[in-house]
């Protein structure tokens, strides 16, 4: 498999991670995941914008421009040749010796970029029937707005839910729902969509940007407000969103049905509009060629 290693495309076997790379030792890095549909990187600009925001928040100068990174990702996509996939890319702060907790001088350390592309397809079967989730206490750090490679809190929450037989974790902090283990979380009540407002407790999702556009176009009211665990259980519908999962209905939480226990009408409308947005973007890209 070919991967991107800084500015070069190499065989995966050629990649060597330094023992003292700060990403390996501290989780000192950031990442993004972009969905590729029919060869088109969907919402690429928004993903790159968020990468730069995350880099600024951890005071890590990136050694390339947006255009240069985009060109490298597209070269990799052309080399790998997968039409429907996801491209994962991350930047660590690089190797600094000796191992010290303080940030090294950025003039002395070169950040390390890597990216790989794996097949991905729309999870249509699960979207049609929905998934089950369980409440898990949100014990993560207080910088959830940074898309950090330090994801131990997230995966521990997901594992806790899966150990109980659920597909997903719905995170709760001080009685308020924040998000899912790796997705933004939404509920529908009386035809109004609710989600936690952006801030340090949730990741500002790229799919969330699209849902804002979709709800406005469909004439559906959207409120970015905090809601409680109890309010979610009384909701008519629930779904999560991410670039990979798209819009995924959650039909049951802690063995209690949400609404009638089926993907709801608003959820379906949003999902169909999201798929239409993807198709229109792909067609526009083809027309430009």
pLDDT of residue 54: 98
Query: Of 80, 103, 119, which one is at a domain's C-terminal end?
Result: 119
Residues 182 and 102 in one domain: no
Query: Of 76, 93, 119, which one is at a domain's C-terminal end?
Result: 119
Take residue 126 and report the two structure tokens written for it.
């699960």
Residue 7 placed within a domain:
yes
Residues 68 and 135 in one domain: no
pLDDT average, residue stretch 191-200: 98
Quote the mean pLDDT of the chain.
97
Residue 284 placed within a domain:
no
Stated pTM of the model: 0.96
pLDDT of residue 235: 98
Query: Of 119, 141, 168, which one is at a domain's C-terminal end?
Result: 119
Residues 250 and 110 in one domain: no
CATH code for the domain in which residue 92 is found: 3.30.470.10
- pLDDT tens per residue across span 6-61: 999 999 999 999 999 999 999 999 999 999 999 999 999 999 999 999 999 999 99
pLDDT of residue 284: 93
Take residue 174 and report the two structure tokens written for it.
């001080």
Report the share of the chain in percent with pLDDT over 70: 100
Q: Which of 33, 150, 145, 28 is nearest to 92 (CA)?
A: 28
Angle at 91 between CA 2 and CA 196, to 5 degrees: 115
Residues 198 and 83 in one domain: no
pLDDT average, residue stretch 110-132: 98
Rounded to whole angstroms, the Cα distance separating 219 from 217 reads 6
Residues 80 and 105 in one domain: yes
Residue 288 placed within a domain:
no
**Spatial CB neighbours of 145, under 8 Å, sequence gap ≥ 6:** 57, 198, 199, 200, 201, 202, 203, 204
Residues 232 and 219 in one domain: yes
Residues 134 and 247 in one domain: yes
Residues 57 and 148 in one domain: no
Which member of 2, 57, 147, 230 is catalytic?
A: 147
Q: Is the pLDDT of residue 288 over 90?
A: no
Query: At which residue do the structure tokens 């597209």 appear?
Result: 74
Residues 98 and 138 in one domain: no
CATH code for the domain in which residue 195 is found: 3.20.10.10
Residue 287 placed within a domain:
no
- pLDDT tens per residue across span 57-91: 999 999 999 999 999 999 999 999 999 999 999 99
Residues 128 and 176 in one domain: yes
The secondary structure of residue 103, as a DSSP letter, is: P
Residue 286 placed within a domain:
no
Residue 256 placed within a domain:
yes
Rounded to whole angstroms, the Cα distance separating 152 from 138 reads 12
Residues 16 and 41 in one domain: yes
Residue 245 placed within a domain:
yes
Instruction: Tell me the C-alpha to C-alpha distance, in Å, between residue 63 and each of 7, 56, 92, 94.
Output: 10, 13, 11, 11
DSSP string across 26-51: H--EEEEEEEEETTEETTHHHHHHHH
Residues 144 and 239 in one domain: yes
**How many C-beta neighbours within 10 Å does residue 208 have?**
21
Residue 285 placed within a domain:
no
Domain region containing 258:
124-279
Domain count, the chain: 2
147 is catalytic: yes
């Amino acid at each position: 498999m070919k991967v991107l290693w800084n500015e070069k495309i190499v065989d995966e076997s050629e990649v060597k991670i330094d023992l003292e790379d700060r990403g390996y030792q501290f989780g000192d890095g950031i990442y993004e995941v972009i969905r590729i549909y029919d060869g088109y990187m969907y919402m690429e600009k928004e993903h790159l914008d968020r990468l730069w925001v995350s880099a600024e928040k951890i005071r890590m100068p990136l050694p390339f421009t947006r255009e240069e990174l985009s060109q490298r990702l597209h070269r990799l996509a052309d080399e790998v040749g997968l039409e429907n996939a996801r491209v994962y890319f991350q930047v660590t702060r690089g190797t600094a010796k000796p191992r010290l907790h303080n940030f090294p001088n950025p003039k002395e350390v070169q950040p390390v970029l890597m990216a790989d592309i794996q097949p991905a397809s729309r999870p249509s079967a699960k979207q049609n029937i929905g998934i089950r989730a369980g409440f898990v206490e949100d014990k993560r750090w207080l910088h959830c707005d940074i898309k950090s490679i330090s994801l131990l809190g997230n995966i521990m929450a997901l594992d806790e839910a899966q150990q109980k037989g659920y597909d997903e974790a719905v995170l709760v902090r001080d009685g308020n729902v924040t998000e899912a283990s790796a997705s933004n979380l939404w509920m529908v009540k009386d035809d109004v969509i609710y989600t936690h407002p952006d801030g340090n407790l949730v990741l500002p999702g790229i799919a969330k940007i699209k849902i804002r556009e979709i709800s406005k176009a469909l004439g559906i009211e959207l409120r970015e407000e905090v809601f409680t665990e109890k309010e979610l259980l009384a909701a008519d519908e629930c779904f999560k969103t991410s670039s990979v999962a798209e819009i995924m209905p959650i039909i049951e939480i802690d063995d209690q049905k949400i609404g009638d226990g089926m993907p709801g009408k608003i959820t379906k409308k949003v999902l169909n509009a999201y798929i239409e947005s993807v198709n229109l973007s792909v067609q526009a890209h083809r027309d430009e060629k």
